[in-house]
Amino acid sequence: MMEVMTANYAAAYAVKLARVGVIAAYPITPQSSISEKLAEMYVKGELYGKYFLVESEHSAMSMLIGASYAGARTFTATSSHGLALMHEMLFWAVGARRPIVMAVVARALAPPWNIWGDHMDVMSERDTGWMQFFCENNQETLDTILMAYKISEDRSVMLPSMVIEDGFILSHTYEAVDIPDQDDVDDFLPPFDPEWKIDFDDPRRFGGLTMPDWWSEFRYRIALDQEVAKKKIVEVDKEFERRFGRSYGGLVEFYNCDDAEVALVLAGSAVGTAKEVSDKMRERGKKVGVVKLKTFRPFPAEELKKLNDMVPVVGVFDRSYTFGYGGALYSEVRNGIYVPGGGALVKNYVGGMGGKDFTPKNMEFIFEDLLRIKKEGKVDRMVEWINIKDGTGRW
Amino acid sequence: MVEVPKTYKDLPSTPITFFTTEDNKTGTWRTIRPVIDKEKCTRCYICWKFCPDLSIEVEEEGDYPNVDYDHCKGCGICANECPSGAIAMEKEMGK
């Protein structure tokens, strides 16, 4: 059934279709309309599970960890400062191996106060152990949440997932979205059935003190299972395509890359802009490719290594910044594709932060800059911030 | 009962604590140990009351208190609180 809706509503429909057992809701802009839509569904009796109001995001995540321990499929949504407030419990969810799925409507962190789209909040949680899936559009948001449950709850993975949609750019923009049939989703996504859960007839202790001689073994298992997740993500993407006719490339999607001279790696809603600009530039004979990073954690380093053979120059577009060095995507991509004594040149572009317009014209500038680097054979500077007012009126 | 694993591969998919606090021998953390002088001890059991780790054992009323060195971390609270000065904190030797 096709309907016109925002990515936030698409996320809410995905939660309904996934038959989530426990939803913890604490509103924060621009996530609020996910919680509102779910509240509306709950009041109308359309939801399978229970909807709980909590007093903070820290409580929301704590509650879901408990509910998940008890065997419930769980969901919450957050943004920006809300995600930051969850920080402590995000580690706990991973350590406890709880397959919670959370929509993160990516937004800037204050000050100065800013409610718009940006990836600083998401990138700050890179090292928690959560899987991180970026979405390009509203349909992808719905589909990714369904896939995320299947990946997270797989007994060989058992790790939580963040499904990331860009604040306002997707969360409040209407697009046609196909809502799958409940029966098809039920078929695709069986009920949550954990190997271990709280059971009064078979009591045991979860997450108690573990001494140094065993603790790192638990961490090692998380590290290994992130690798297992990579295979599972590709597998689930293929199954999703078989059943619903839509695929997102698994870990990474190469677009217009086969004969490309340069390529730009990026994640989130800007991928759509990059694809369109790439198509238009190809009409003018400029062979530019786009690499869509679907998953940031686990990071598809092996898949990206192909870029070395495909193109001599790689650009990385970041919607966030790690102060004192460069964008997070940039450092990961450059490390990931690095081969000793050669490989592609890599340059970092930073832009579209805090809701700043990132237009096709800006995207074209990046591609032209990459083509120039290819011609000159060297990267002039590591990082370039796009669209910064510098008095030249260049933008 | 979860079997105690031998390698990381045997760990359960969810961290279940397979060692009880009794199995975790935290006494290895100690640098000084409490030693009770039975001559001075009045068996008031204040040390038992104050021990934050349940490491002072009293088997039966009227018995002298006994230190469980497998779990005593050597914090010295017992020695500090003992009204008759019967507990001395001695350096751990031979480690």
The string of pLDDT tens digits covering residues A297-334 is: 999 999 999 999 999 999 999 999 999 999 999 999 99
Residue the block writes with tokens 């920006």? A80
Which positions ≥6 away from A346 have C-beta within 8 Å?
A: A313, A314, A315, A316, A330, A333, A334, A337, A379
Neighbours of B38 (CB within 10 A): 9
Question: How confident is the model over A207-234, as a mean pLDDT?
Answer: 92
| Structure tokens given for A308 | 């070395």
Mark yes or no for CB contact B24/A158 under 8 Å: no
Show residues of chain B in contact with A222, CB under 8 Å.
Answer: none
| Structure tokens given for A357 | 């317009």
Query: Can you give the pLDDT at residue A393?
Result: 66
The string of pLDDT tens digits covering residues A170-217 is: 999 999 999 999 999 999 999 999 999 999 998 888 888 888 888 899
3-class SS of residue B61: coil
The string of pLDDT tens digits covering residues A73-132 is: 999 999 999 999 999 999 999 999 999 999 999 999 999 999 999 999 999 999 999 999
Q: Look up the pTM and report it.
A: 0.91
Mutate to test the interface with B, among A211, A213, A224 (most CBs of B within 10 A): A211
Distance CA A118, CA A121 (A): 8
Residue the block writes with tokens 């820290």? A58
| Structure tokens given for A303 | 């898949």
Which positions ≥6 away from A264 have C-beta within 8 Å?
A: A274, A278, A288, A289, A290, A291, A314, A315, A316, A317, A349, A363, A366, A367, A370
Chains A and B form CB pairs within 8 A to the count of 49
Mark yes or no for CB contact A195/B24 under 8 Å: no
Residues in chain A: 395
Asked if A384 contacts A326 with a C-beta cutoff of 8 angstroms, the reply is no
For residue B9, give the chain A residue with the closest CA: A221
The string of pLDDT tens digits covering residues A11-59 is: 999 999 999 999 999 999 999 999 999 999 999 999 999 999 999 999 9
Cα A224 to Cα A28, A218, A319: the distances in Å are 34, 10, 29
Whether ipTM exceeds 0.95 = no
Mark yes or no for CB contact A211/B2 under 8 Å: no
Mark yes or no for CB contact B13/A196 under 8 Å: yes
Mark yes or no for CB contact B17/A217 under 8 Å: no
Distance CA A98, CA A105 (A): 21
Q: Which residue has the higher pLDDT, B4 or A53?
A: A53
The string of pLDDT tens digits covering residues A143-180 is: 999 999 999 999 999 999 999 999 999 999 999 999 99
Residue type for B27, please? G
